Structure 1
């Protein structure tokens, strides 16, 4: 028997990042959900995928690469279907390369003493750090770990290694300084202030897919834009920040006698939406700050604890455009080594005096014929958050001083343009992405993903569902984790209502 449209379930999706778009796209491809609304707090779709103009070219303020672009990666598959990638990225050869993380690019190491470090010395240290980092992933199912964090494990192992080094003192210090650069680089990868905050036991649960990391020639933002155009136009509402999600209630719609809904979503502008189900896809950083007032009745203790215990850090980018490059023509990566630093020595905490020391890697945007001479620097942690409070002019001055020091050229022309991301200040994001912090585990990720009400026997199940990168146990912090989590929650609802069609819907392109 055909169900009247008015009686069909109403679904609200909060947040138009990849998780929210993925869920909405999956649901809109089913006839069971004609009443679908997607509420986005800002004026654009994409969330932490954010392509912006820098001069005449598009740069990525948020997500940069497709990590592991291969058949198992839904972001790669969707981008391929939309024709957003170049032929090289889609080649079988690229999809089969196992890089175990970021590929190695032609790099130059500049030191704070104004010299270029020998590639041989750097390569030996990089291999050591890589080996030790691989070891940290072997504690996954160990009942008891000797130290709580990845950082402490690495330092303990390095301290043992140093005892066996036969180099002269100057070389030892230089090797330790290079190791410190890799610690900071790993903070950017993990989105944390310090590797001392990242839990050792669960670290190996994060999964990497095969494929050589690739970028979008026309900007990552092309993906959410394409997903958005596949949705019914009237279903997406921008500039609709949600202030509270009320669930477990009985809310009667004024215009339709007799129909009540368990969920009411209130927006900042006072508008209210009634629904049978709401899929919340807001970032963990936002939930950390607002979960006590954002969801009513309050979250069960287990879920609230998971929000508090999981990590969510800041990783920002600073783009610098130069009239002329100071780096060699074949260089694609500039790494910075502060010769007076070591992972075995406590770092200073004066952010004002030393925030720029956390900026230890610059990507040379390729190809230069298209971008000109543009560097993209990565900076994580408290230093990154402090950087957000400074003016563009202050950032430009500080980085001009740093680059003059690195090159040993006090007269080097300053960059002609600067632009940076400010993810910690973004009110609906409050950081970049999640990690499994000391005191938390993958079980917290699963707890965060658990729908409400928790009692499966409840007559009105799955009123509040949760998606987003922080809810994917093995792909947290990634765009493919976000997309998969949105599909997961859409499939929960499809399995409740959609008996006529396969639950594995291919989204409408």
Structure 2
């Protein structure tokens, strides 16, 4: 086997998967990381807003504990606050999204009964746990998580709210809000699109979710700085990856390469191996012309079947808070809604009702008085088409409706994410859709050519959150997938992997 030092590797995409792969291949002689946009980080993107920072993409380290490589790397670089390092915080089994002190507003402009809200949340969490327990079922009764939850809720309707009609309707409205929250967590338009049987394969790590005091982007920034200068090339969008070929550099006929990476600006890079870390949303839209020859049918099918949805954020800055200092979440419930009613398809009239509410950015001394709203699915994609003024005015109306204060001052500024419109992303993150399974994730992760006896193995390798069977949709899944593919190459080169920077 030719030594690793003379073999050329190109990594496409400088998100955490691409940077993780580059990190593990950094002792390697010839490595280039091509990033389509003007910055590294991918779906990790911190922007200044108000007096602090806004996380446009990844927000938390989910499950910051020794099993989480993002937590270990962030600790290694000294990027986390003292609280995240506390051992008791790392041992809490929080199930991925620990509850925060909250207040729930109804669309009638009143604060809803904490007891009624809590009862509905407990019921929803119980039903969600039973949906996860369907994993491994031979023939699940229904294909989707949404259908399963609706069937379970229907059975319980007579007992909801103690059998009293108004109380029952309120519980149903809160359950409808819980479903919207789950859409945000799963990155989907509707839980009817999320497959039931594989739903329980996703693994939540222990630890209380934590954030980066200096912004999530401080992590990719450190990773880039640790690479040899000139490794990462920004504004280098790839147009086509030609593989299974025989390409030569001008004036050198002695060395032929199986891959030519052609960029949109006309530059080309020859390589022995390419690690592709682009988002699944981009692959869904572009895989047919992105790879020449096209991908094998089995991989193309996996790309088509797996789900990839949009979850956006809307940040609002206020002169003064209208919420109490202890409140960290303002939940929104539309009191006429129910999970058993067909949702409206009129996006123009109702898009804002998909908003689950707002989180208060902490601490206010750092951020100012800022709320961060979360909205998923088609409504979220519709929001991207509106002007800043339209979104700001709609948010003002929503908050006046919920609080019952028709004179609530409008926010002084707004910032929002637009992940679906981003041409190299086309959404937020992956989920296992109805009609697909965890096997599709494994197929997506499988290198090409498939024949291990091929004289030129591992030409195309695939990484990114959508290629990790149990940690899809997370930054730690992305990072681990990048390390996994780098290790594949290091084994091929018989090169000792550089000690991980942990």
Report the TM range for the smaller structure's normalisation: over 0.9
SS in 2 for 1:49: coil
Once the two structures are superposed, the pairs formed by residues 294-313 of structure 1 within 5 Å of their partners are: 294-313=290-309
1:22 and 2:15 aligned? no
Among 155, 161, 165, the alignment partner of 1:160 is 155
> Deviation at 1:58?
1.3
1:385 and 2:381 aligned? yes
> Deviation at 1:372?
1.7
How far apart, CA to CA, are the structure 2 residues paired with 1:39 and 1:256?
24
When normalised by structure 1's length, the TM-score is 0.97
Among 401, 414, 417, the alignment partner of 1:421 is 417
Residue of structure 2 equivalent to 1:11: 9
SS in 1 for 2:230: helix
SS in 2 for 1:70: coil
How far apart, CA to CA, are the structure 2 residues paired with 1:314 and 1:444?
20
Residue of structure 2 equivalent to 1:188: 184
Residue of structure 1 equivalent to 2:258: 262
Once the two structures are superposed, the pairs formed by residues 135-150 of structure 1 within 5 Å of their partners are: 135-150=130-145
> Deviation at 1:254?
1.2
Residue of structure 2 equivalent to 1:74: 69
Residue of structure 2 equivalent to 1:90: 85
> Deviation at 1:2?
10
Cα deviation code 1:93-149 (max 9, x no counterpart): 111011112111100000000000111111111000000000001111111000000
Among 495, 498, 506, the alignment partner of 2:499 is 506
How far apart, CA to CA, are the structure 1 residues paired with 2:80 and 2:494?
33
How far apart, CA to CA, are the structure 1 residues paired with 2:183 and 2:484?
29
How far apart, CA to CA, are the structure 2 residues paired with 1:26 and 1:4?
13
Residue of structure 1 equivalent to 2:117: 122
Residue of structure 2 equivalent to 1:350: 346
Contact 1:230 1:508 in 2 (8 A): no
How far apart, CA to CA, are the structure 2 residues paired with 1:208 and 1:393?
38
1:234 and 2:230 aligned? yes
How far apart, CA to CA, are the structure 1 residues paired with 2:35 and 2:182?
32
Greater shift after overlay, 369-378 or 220-229? 369-378
Residue of structure 2 equivalent to 1:40: 35
Contact 1:434 1:476 in 2 (8 A): yes
Aligned length: 501
How far apart, CA to CA, are the structure 2 residues paired with 1:149 and 1:486?
30
SS in 2 for 1:258: strand
SS in 1 for 2:94: coil
1:324 and 2:323 aligned? no
Among 286, 292, 296, the alignment partner of 1:290 is 286
Contact 2:9 2:32 in 1 (8 A): yes
Cα deviation code 1:52-85 (max 9, x no counterpart): 0003311100000000000000000000000000
Give the root-mean-square deviation of aligned CA atoms. 1.3
> Deviation at 1:425?
0.2
Residue of structure 2 equivalent to 1:207: 203
How far apart, CA to CA, are the structure 1 residues paired with 2:366 and 2:51?
9
When normalised by structure 2's length, the TM-score is 0.98
Contact 2:275 2:463 in 1 (8 A): yes
> Deviation at 1:274?
0.3
Among 395, 405, 409, the alignment partner of 1:409 is 405
How far apart, CA to CA, are the structure 2 residues paired with 1:328 and 1:54?
22
Contact 1:139 1:200 in 2 (8 A): yes
How far apart, CA to CA, are the structure 1 residues paired with 2:83 and 2:251?
55
> Deviation at 1:506?
2.8
Contact 1:15 1:38 in 2 (8 A): yes
1:112 and 2:107 aligned? yes
